[in-house]
Amino acid sequence: MAEAAPSAASVQRADIKMPIQNHIDAFGGKSGVKALINTFVGYVAADPHINYYFAHTNIKALKYNLTQQVCEVVGGPCTYTGPTMTAAHKNLHVTTAAFNYLAQDMIKAMDQRDIAKPAQNYLLAQLAAMEPQIVTANGPLG
């Protein structure tokens, strides 16, 4: 008999610090998360404060990985198998200011997608928990 997969609430990863809660419905399911990420990446691409960080990024892979990661974090039926946050941001010299601009772009995207504030706050808390693995530089921007 096959062993049951762990529930989303029991999944723990080094770069996901908080217990996973089920907010997937507030995000519109997996398709809603995908739409959110498309909106978010659009905001990031238009953001002159941080878009240069993504100049050499495979955008299709970025969208896929972000969709899987956010879907998993909000309790959806996804499993993020991409790189750790430390590995993904190595040598990018991300500053706290850049991290905060990225968070602002996510907030704008979530507002545009009409995601409920409690679900937004949950995702933002998860992202904030990843900051130590992402921010590696001092100064206003990298």
Cβ atoms 19, 73 nearer than 8 A = no
Contacts of 79 (CB under 8 A, 6+ apart): 68, 72
CA atoms within 13 A on the CB side of 31: 0
- Which tokens sit at 2? 């096959």
Element (H, E) at 129: helix 117-134
| 28 close to 70: Cβ distance less than 8 angstroms | no
CA distances from 21 to 11, 94, 101 (A): 10, 28, 25
Q: Is 89 annotated as a binding residue?
A: yes
Annotated binding residues, as ranges?
A: 89
Annotated binding residues for heme, as ranges?
A: 89
